[in-house]
């Protein structure tokens, strides 16, 4: 199996057309079309495709994915959706969790994601812990297609032991929802302490917009600078920032940037927008995620990075950076790119420009991870727990043989 693959005739975001040579999972070189002999090496014809760094999904809830039909919701907004989820009888039926999460991951992979971070509810007892273990099994199953990261999200009454057990079971990040705690700042300090003890990063739901007085993101940023916590910290949602006056928002943005904290916006979900442009202007790394996939929180969630990028309202290049390079930075991965030496996690979509791709969201897509085709319109082989692909399995949009993920 060749470790060298050439992508022929790809359109780059700046409008140039190039042949892109991939070597050992990285971009080797870019040449003008016609300088490389197509019959000399394995290759993929990308004539008519726009080639981009692959997107990542930095904030999704796989344990709730695809539950809209059985759970439904009520008319009381996001609080009502949360209550609907909590009372679901089969919330942690493990077979159901495995089936739904696998299908959600397939959807994300088909849409181009090569890395996913899922937030997963944990608490006391064996069943929530088993949910983390199920997700760890899926991480191993999909490892050739995407990088799956697990965030253990406790409610405030969850014990320290249950949180550390979740890390031992496979979670690589500690999450949390301090707004539910009687003392928001005390809960933030507890989660920082536990993350430091476990040697993992922190990714919190903050300022969901329910109470504009709880601007916990500023408290978290100040605590980070005072504590010396040196692991990655991410804050999601932050809709409460929309209610701040411009001067106050500017100060909060500068505090976040100085702390090194990353922020994840959720622009596709009603009520979860945040002032992305202002935070970027303050120097904050802002990624964008989808949050919910057809569940009580968002019954129309698409798990599509093109849709998420378009919903940011940013110019095309910045919009794609939010779901690609910045999202990968949040996940602690190489940011990727289209220059020699960059990781060959790539996304090709049939479009003439990035603006066209964001506007029309074509479904003719090809995803490469580490230089290997893993999806083409969802038809390429995606690993299954009980099946090892045949050595002869390949994708079909090629003029020459292209290795695919096993």
* pLDDT tens-digit series, residues 121-144: 887 665 678 889 999 999 999 999
Tens digits of per-residue pLDDT, 305-349?
Answer: 999 999 999 999 999 999 999 999 999 999 889 999 999 999 999
Query: Are residues 366 and 7 in contact, defined by beta-carbon separation less than 8 angstroms?
Result: no
pLDDT of residue 129: 83
Residue 272: pLDDT above 50? yes
Q: What tokens were used for 302?
A: 């698409």
Contact assessment for residue 268 and residue 22, using Cβ atoms and an 8 Å cutoff: no
> To the nearest 5 percent, what fractions of the chain are helix, strand and coil?
35, 20, 40
pLDDT tops 80 at residue 147: yes
| In the predicted structure, residue 41 carries a pLDDT above the cut 80 | no
Q: What is the pLDDT of residue 218?
A: 81
Residue 220 structure tokens: 């978290």
Indicate whether 76 pLDDT > 60. no
Note whether 269 and 292 are within 8 A (CB).
yes
Residue 123's pLDDT is what? 78
Q: Supply the pLDDT for residue 393.
A: 31
Outline where 142-283 has alpha helix (H). 160-169, 184-198, 216-227, 246-259, 276-281
The average confidence (pLDDT) of the chain is 83
Task: Give the Cα separation of 60 and 290 in Å (integer).
Answer: 6
- Judge whether 284 and 221 are in contact, CB under 8 Å: no
Please answer whether residues 405 and 372 qualify as being in contact, where contact means their C-beta atoms are separated by less than 8 angstroms: yes
pLDDT higher than threshold 50 for residue 243: yes
CA distance linking residue 342 with residue 20, whole number of Å: 12
- Which band of pLDDT confidence, cut at 50, 70 and 90, is reported for residue 154? very high
d(CA 165, CA 2): 42
| Better-scored residue on pLDDT, 182 or 350 | 350
Asked if the model's pLDDT at residue 153 lies above 70, the reply is yes
Provide mean pLDDT across the span 149-173: 94
pLDDT band with cut points at 50, 70 and 90 for residue 89: very low
> Which pLDDT does position 274 carry in this prediction?
82
- Compute the average pLDDT of residues 264-293: 86
pLDDT band at 213 (very low <50, low <70, confident <90, very high): low
- pLDDT bucket at 34, cuts 50 / 70 / 90: confident
pLDDT band at residue 401, thresholds of 50, 70 and 90? very low
pTM higher than 0.85: yes
With CA atoms as reference, report the closest residue to 236 among 183, 169, 289. Answer: 289
| pLDDT recorded at residue 369 | 95
What confidence score (pLDDT) does residue 125 get? 61
pLDDT score for 161: 93
């Amino acid at each position: 199996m060749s470790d060298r693959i050439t992508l022929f005739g790809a359109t780059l975001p700046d409008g140039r057309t190039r042949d892109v040579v991939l070597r050992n999972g990285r971009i080797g070189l870019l040449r003008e079309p016609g300088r490389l002999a197509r019959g000399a090496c394995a290759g993929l014809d990308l004539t008519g495709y726009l080639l981009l760094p692959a997107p990542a999904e930095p904030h999704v809830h796989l344990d709730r994915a695809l539950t809209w039909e059985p759970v439904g919701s009520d008319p009381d907004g996001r609080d009502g959706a949360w209550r609907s989820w909590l009372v679901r009888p089969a919330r942690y039926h493990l077979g159901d969790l495995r089936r739904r999460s696998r299908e959600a991951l397939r959807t994300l992979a088909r849409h181009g994601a090569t890395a996913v971070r899922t937030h997963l509810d944990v608490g006391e007892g064996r069943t929530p812990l088993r949910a983390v273990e199920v997700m760890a099994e899926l991480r191993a199953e999909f490892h050739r297609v995407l990088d799956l990261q697990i965030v253990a999200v406790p409610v405030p009454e969850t014990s320290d032991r249950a949180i550390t057990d979740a890390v031992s079971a496979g979670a690589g990040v500690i999450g949390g929802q301090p707004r539910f705690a009687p003392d928001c700042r005390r809960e933030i300090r507890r989660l920082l302490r536990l993350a430091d003890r476990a040697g993992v990063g922190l990714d919190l739901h903050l300022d969901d917009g329910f109470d504009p007085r709880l601007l916990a993101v500023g408290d978290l940023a100040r605590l980070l600078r005072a504590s010396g916590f040196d692991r990655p910290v991410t804050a999601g949602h932050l809709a409460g920032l929309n209610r701040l006056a411009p001067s106050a928002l500017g100060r909060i943005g500068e505090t976040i940037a100085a702390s090194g904290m990353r922020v994840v916006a959720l622009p596709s979900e009603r009520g979860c927008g945040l002032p992305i442009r202002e935070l970027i202007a303050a120097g904050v790394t802002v990624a964008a995620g989808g949050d919910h996939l057809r569940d009580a929180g968002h019954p129309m969630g698409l798990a599509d990075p093109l849709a998420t990028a378009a919903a940011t309202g940013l110019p095309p290049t910045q919009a794609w950076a939010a779901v690609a390079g910045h999202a990968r930075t949040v996940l602690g991965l190489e940011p990727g790119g289209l220059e020699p030496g960059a990781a060959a996690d790539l996304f090709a979509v049939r479009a003439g420009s990035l603006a066209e791709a964001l506007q029309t969201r074509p479904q003719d897509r090809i995803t490469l991870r580490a230089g290997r085709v893993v999806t083409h319109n969802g038809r390429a082989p995606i690993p299954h727990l009980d099946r090892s692909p045949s050595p002869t399995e390949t994708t079909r949009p090629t003029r020459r043989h292209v290795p695919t993920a096993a």
